[in-house]
Structure 1
Amino acid sequence: MAIQILPAQLANQIAAGEVVERPASVVKELIENCLDAGATRIDIEIDKGGAKRILIRDNGSGIVKDELSLALSRHATSKIDSLDDLSAIATLGFRGEALASISSVSRLSLSSRTLEQEQAWQAQAAGRDMQVSLQPCAHPVGSSVEVLDLFFNTPARRKFLRTEKTEFSHIDELLKRLALSRFDVAVSLKHNGKLIRQYRISKELYKQLKRVSTVLGVPFTHHCLHLDNQHDQLRLHGWLGLPEVARAQNDQQYFYVNGRMMRDKLLQHAIRQAFAPYLGDDQHACYVLYLELPLDQVDVNVHPAKHEVRFHQARLVHDYIVQVLGSALSKIPQANQTAELYSHWTNETSDNDFSTPSVSHGYTATPAPRASSPTSVSTGGDNRHAYQSNLHRAEPPSVQELNANNQWLNTSASFTSNSASPAVKPAAESVLYPLHLEANGYLLARHQQQLVMIDVWASQQHLAFKQALEQWQQGLDSVPLLLPLKLNIEPDLLNLVKQQNDSLRRLGFSFNLVNKQQLIVAQVPKLFRKVDFALLIPSLLLAMSQLPDSEWQQPEALLSGLIKLQNKPNDFAWQQAVECCQGLQQIYADELPSTFWRLVDLSPCIAGFANE
């Protein structure tokens, strides 16, 4: 066979093999054209999963009449015009193949009008040589592309299309990814004439979180961390799902590089490495992340579908992502930082930001009190090595720390003797009423018509001891750690964990042995969840290794030691003071142990007024 130039239609169909894989591929290419044209509204209509009809309409800049025929030609584009542009691509599309490839395997019509034109025009390409014909039409400013009978002239491709439901699910997933890439664009999706999705423009952060909720679900928005980090010319921001919402499949992972959605191996490896201390091998993190860097530092022209990129400084980008995410995960507060944003929009009764088939709100989660740390986790700095912070993997405590905490066995007396302390006698007014809280944990309260000062911290410890003692027979209530903690432990202490596993479970602890030197702390006693377990557990095991077996069943020493290892907070919340008063009142009624209170003598103050 002689060498010859392929006909235009055949060449376009060959190119379409890479560009047009299924109806979702058509939708992707056309929506990217809309975004490159500056559209702020995109309407999508799908019939029969896209096999019968795809219509995409936008309000972008439009195409002038003289360029419509070129728009349907191969390698015709307005997005680049030199080799230098190819090394710094700012648009989603740039090859000039999409419309020509789509028109070669379907019946395509392109209608468009610019702001300067009074008349809109429609272009169609047909025939062996793909000749373009133009005719006037009615159309607002912007463009519309209608694709009919996809693969009608390539039966081999058409028979490989899946069911209508499957093909539409691919389009729906694609739209979710595009919706998360541009919060400044309104998007609607119809299937067989029925409105399926509608995303409104979301400029405020809480409205953006609302759009995220429609894609990833309400549980994600209850348990995610918003971060925004910039270092030199690199910026990483978005939402990071906490380990507790990890999934068995990777269907909630959305990563964007300069606004382009990606599934790049380098990026996925960096994220997996950051989450490695917190997730099992069969768990996948959930996230919506955006990486921004100079255009000339990334090459997007390495994959036919542009799903992969090549970074000029791949190691720098990889390490930057690992360190930023690792730092953010290691600083996760107990309070969910997105709770305030989420409650903001869930309490709104005004115009909704989106319309979508009923999203289940059956998931219940009570947002914790607002954390003192900011929502945006930022570790900015000029030194690249500033990001080389440790991941959340605790090291063994020092010998000094172990020796200091080894005294816990001798601390039980202060708890067990409180019940014998002198008590306030009953009186007509017996309610313990909080009045004023000092920041260092001392509460001014009224009790039996007297002013008393209460040590909130000592009271909290005593109440915790009483509650733990009541739970001892059935075992202390336990809760999973927000971030499972991996500890390096001496082999002898690991053997102790195996031997006394039942007793440790009774205390509320659950351990998973990794190897001969490491264990993972899975669950901890609910009463002591604020303890520094990286320090407490090695100290606890070391002290218990010195106990006779008979004392393993004695709750007083074990429980009081655990409570004493809690660190006193720097600040106390008013709610803590109220709960403390309620707890003391419930247990002791009118006979409040004098260990926790002191009578406030007002006579010096009164005398001071008298002497003025």
Structure 2
Amino acid sequence: MNKIQRLDTLLANQIAAGEVVERPASVIKELIENSIDAGSQNITIHIKQGGHELIQVRDDGCGISKEDVVLALSRHATSKISSLSDLEAVRSLGFRGEALASIAAVSRLTLQTKAVGAEIGTEVKAQDNQIEVLPKPVGHPQGTTISVNDIFYNTPARRKFLRGVKTEFNYIATVVRRLALSRFDIDFSLFHNDKQEFVCRKAASDSAKEQRVATILGHEFMANALSIEFEAAGMRLWGWIALPHFTRSQSDMQHTYINGRIIRDKLMTHAMQQAYQDVLFHGRKPAYCIYLNIDPKIVDVNVHPTKHEVRFRNSQLVHQFLFKAVQDALSQVRPADRVAAKVSERVLASENLSESTATTNKNFNAHAKTPTKNINFNPNSQTPTTIDAQYRCTQPVQTEMAVGAAQAVYKDLMSCQQLSMETMTTQMLESEAVEPMVKHALGYAVAQLHDRYIVSQNDLGMVMVDMHAAHERILYERYKKDYQLDHIPKQQLLLPINVNLSAEEVQCIEQHEGLFQQIGLTIDWAGPNEVVLREIPILLKNADMAQLIHDVLADLSTYQNSQRVEEAINQVLGTLACRSAFRNPHKLTLPEMNALLRDIEKTNNSGFCNHGRPTWVQLNFKELDKFFLRGQ
């Protein structure tokens, strides 16, 4: 048997470095976070050979005093906390005092710094976690420059696991971009082999912040993102969440920050996924960049050396806060919001039209908008008195109609009788004489395609609507609202269901016993490790309730919250909505089509059916012109 012995300092430091320094990107993260904590306004990163040869971070922060330079390279030495109370309310990104010592243990490190008010800078070199060159004066501007050469030179086993130059640099660039998203008030510059690869300037205004996000996450993300800001219970959530049609196959575009710190937390990820559940296509991942400001006393960041994981004092409250904020923001998106986002594109495109074309369009619109009254409708007439009259006579179903007239005709989608062409046109003409035209995001219907799709026109161009998907979403939202107003109607079981529990599940159910009553489950104890289920929500009469109980307890154990019962109920309501919606093909009259469009515009989550499929798409003039090579 081998005897227990104390490890030497170098080996202990190299083992500890394995938790902090995984690859060159880990070094970059630790050094940039130190620069941010130092109050830097400009951070410049120089990389050579993907970090294999050189990693250098320079900032203009407060610097390190000459007396503290050597101590800064020691383990568990930091200026950011000095007591347990400081640790419990820490706001700085670093606080463990391990980063520089860990980096120095596996590389050749040079530190140059000049503190505020100092006349000259100081330089110190370390290798194998030992000071190789004592501090000496050096010319250096205010701030700190740390150069890391030959990473893992003394740990060959770690060095051989490094990837190629390009791969390692991609990891570094990803870390720099993520950190650039955390602080909009700092300039970031990244160079690789003396070539500038990335630069971000300070962003003070909202538009400048959006520009930085677009630069890092892509303009497509920002074009499909929804700005969010929500505050409650001492917490503030802000940032950008992508609309449901902009999704990813992986979670590579999910950026979460707590008090400016990069976080990968399963509770927050679960809350975001739950918020998107009603509108997300199966197997897809949402995209977002969100910032949570919270009292540091109720979140523990001292969970892992990398500080990527956190622990909340009240995780259920945080989960519900995130879920509610994001779900409400998504549900309030209307077609008008999505259409408005494309107006600027149309304006820019219009400005590029030639003057002659603009003049022609102006003259045409002057005729087209001329009000016509008392027109004798005759389908066989070949000599209409005006352009507008000809448009109505030859294609009366394309005439725009007022909302009031459409809703008056459309009383019941399933039972409305087909109006004759002449009667319909007469009603539309009379309504226009009384009520002025109203602009709507989805415009007005002009035709029905194979009794499956509604074709409408709006200010931007053409809109295609999937009748079944749109009607399904409308019914689904109505069913959910009606069901919620009934306060979860229950059904008493003729034969109660016994559920055996593990020791962990027993403890969990004791802690959350009141929650089961809130979600419509009446549970009594039948033994020390067994419960009996006596009442359930009426819509779950065909569900596997024993398995559902286990799933709820698993969620409560992990996230302190569960939406399993609500999800199961919504799944039943979604099935009812799907079966009750229009079955293709289904013939609709023009008033029915317009009334359906108006219902879509005022329905929550109306852009997608409850399976995550789009209910409508917009084809603007620019896209339509491409089909016919116009302007080329």
TM-score bracket, normalised by the shorter chain, equals 0.5 to 0.7
| Aligned residue among 456, 463, 468 for 2:447 | 468
Q: Partner of 1:193 in structure 2?
A: 194
In the alignment, what sits opposite 1:530? none
- What amino acid maps onto 2:47 in structure 1? I
CA RMSD of aligned residues (A): 3.9
Residue 408 of structure 1 contacts residue 561 of structure 1 at CA under 8 Å; is this kept in 2? no
For 1:300 and 1:150, how far apart are their aligned partners in 2? 27
The residue that corresponds to 1:35 in the other structure is 36
Match of 1:61 in 2: 62
Cα distance 1:13–1:564, how it changes in 2: closer, same or farther (>3 A)? closer
Match of 2:592 in 1: 561
Partner of 2:234: 233
The corresponding residue for 2:435 is 455
Task: Supply the distance in 1 between the matched residues of 2:427 and 2:84 (Cα, whole angstroms).
Answer: 86
What is the CA–CA distance in structure 2 between the aligned matches of 1:132 and 1:482, rounded to whole Å? Answer: 72
Partners in 1 of 2:19 and 2:248 — Cα distance?
32
Instruction: State how far apart, in whole Å, the 1-side matches of 2:426 and 2:144 are.
Output: 84
How much has 1:124 moved relative to structure 2? Answer: 1.3
Paired amino acid for 1:561: E
For 1:224 and 1:245, how far apart are their aligned partners in 2?
8
1:467-486 matches, within 5 Å, as 467-468=446-447, 471-472=449-450, 476-477=454-455, 478-479=464-465, 485=473
Deviates more, 1:238-247 or 1:119-128: 119-128
Q: CA deviation at 1:5?
A: 4.2
1:217-256 to structure 2, matched below 5 A, reads 217-256=218-257
C-alpha separation in 2, matches of 1:309 and 1:73: 26
Q: 1:567 to 1:198 in 2, by over 3 A?
A: closer
CA distance in 1, matches of 2:185, 2:471: 34
Is residue 2:423 matched to residue 1:417?
yes
For residues 484 and 213 of structure 1, the distance between their equivalents in structure 2, rounded to whole angstroms, comes to 34
Corresponding residue of 1:207: 208
Distance 1:483 1:423 in 2: 28
How much does 1:83 deviate? 1.1
1:486-497 aligned at under 5 Å gives the runs none
The 8 Å contact of residues 176 and 215 in structure 1, kept in 2 or not, is answered as yes
Give, in whole Å, the separation in 1 of the partners of 2:334 and 2:429: 39
Give, in whole Å, the separation in 1 of the partners of 2:89 and 2:425: 75
Counterpart Cα distance in 2 of 1:176 and 1:482: 39
Residues 337 and 109 from structure 1, CA distance in 2 versus in 1: closer, same or farther, beyond 3 angstroms? farther
Classify 1:4/1:486 alpha carbon distance in 2 versus 1 (closer, same or farther; 3 Å): farther
Query: In structure 2, what residue type is equivalent to 1:318?
Result: H
Amino acid at match of 2:412: N
- Residue 214 of structure 1, CA deviation: 1.1
CA distance in 2 between counterparts of 1:194 and 1:185 reads 21
Deviation at 1:232, TM superposition (A): 3.0
Runs of 5+ in structure 1 lacking a partner?
Answer: 348-400, 425-440, 443-452, 491-513, 522-533, 545-551, 572-612
Aligned pairs for 1:140-539 (under 5 A) are 140-336=141-337, 405-406=411-412, 409-410=415-416, 412-413=418-419, 416-419=422-425, 453=433, 455-456=435-436, 464=444, 467-468=446-447, 471-472=449-450, 476-477=454-455, 478-479=464-465, 485=473, 518-519=574-575, 538=580
Q: Give the Cα–Cα distance (whole angstroms) in 1 for the partners of residues 597 and 62 of structure 2.
A: 63
Counterpart secondary structure, 1:485: helix
Deviation of 1:133 after TM superposition, in Å, equals 1.6
1:470-496 per-position Cα deviation (integer Å, ceiling 9, x unaligned): x45896443467999385599xxxxxx
CA shift in 2, pair 1:516/1:241, >3 Å: closer
3-state SS, counterpart of residue 226 of structure 1: strand
Q: Which amino acid aligns with 2:473?
A: L
CA contact (8 A) 1:33 1:93 kept: yes
d(CA) in 2 for partners of 1:66 and 1:338? Answer: 61
Counterpart residue type for residue 455 of structure 1:
E
Q: Distance in 2 between matches of 1:314 and 1:142?
A: 39
Paired AA for residue 270 in structure 2: H
Structure 2 counterpart of 1:100? 101
What per-residue deviation string (whole Å, max 9, x for no partner) do you get for residues 61-81 of structure 1?
000000000001111100000
Alpha-carbon separation, structure 1, partners of 2:600 and 2:465: 21
Deviation at 1:310, TM superposition (A): 0.2
What SS does the corresponding residue of 2:302 show, helix, strand or coil?
coil
1:114 CA displacement: 1.2
Task: Label 1:64 to 1:197 Cα distance change in 2 as closer, same or farther (>3 A).
Answer: same
Match of 2:506 in 1: none
Provide the identity percentage: 40
Query: Using a 3 Å threshold, how does the CA distance of structure 1 residues 473 and 36 change in structure 2: closer, same or farther?
Result: closer
Residue type of the alignment partner of 1:406: D
Residues 343 and 562 (structure 1), Cα distance of their counterparts in 2 relative to 1, 3 Å cut: closer
Amino acid at match of 2:206: L
Deviation at 1:194, TM superposition (A): 0.7
Contact 1:87 1:296 in 2 (8 A): yes
1:155-182 CA distance string (max 9 Å, x none): 1110000011111111111111101000
Equivalent residue, structure 1, for 2:123:
122
CA 291–53 in structure 1, closer or farther in 2 if over 3 Å, else same:
same
CA distance in 2, matches of 1:69, 1:418: 88
- Distance (Å, rounded) in 2 between the aligned partners of 1:105 and 1:227: 43
Q: CA deviation at 1:405?
A: 3.6
* Deviations 1:452-475, CA, capped at 9 Å, x for gaps: x56345999xx956x216x45896
- SS in structure 2 of the partner of residue 271 of structure 1: helix
TM-score normalised to structure 2 length: 0.62
Letter in 1 for 2:423: S
TM-score (norm 1): 0.64
Q: Secondary structure of the residue that 2:245 maps to in structure 1?
A: helix
Provide closer, same or farther for how the CA distance between residues 337 and 84 of structure 1 changes in structure 2, counting only shifts above 3 A: farther
Residue 339 to residue 175, structure 1, CA distance change in 2 (3 Å)? farther
**Separation in structure 2 between the aligned mates of residue 6 and residue 412 of structure 1, nearest angstrom:** 89
Q: Distance in 2 between the 1:95 and 1:5 partners?
A: 23
Q: 1:8 matched to which residue of 2?
A: 9
Deviation per residue, 1:487-537 (Å, 9 max, x gap): 5599xxxxxxxxxxxxxxxxxxxxxxx97763498xxxxxxxxxxxx9xx9
Q: CA 1:34/1:474 → structure 2, altered by over 3 Å: closer, same or farther? A: closer
* 1:12 Cα offset (Å): 1.4
Q: Distance in 1 between matches of 2:471 and 2:285?
A: 14
Q: Sort the Cα spacing of 1:518 and 1:236 in 2 relative to 1 into closer, same or farther, 3 A.
A: same
Q: Which residue of 1 aligns with 2:374?
A: none
Matches within 5 A, 1:63-82: 63-82=64-83
Unaligned runs of 5+ in 2: 349-406, 456-463, 480-569, 603-632
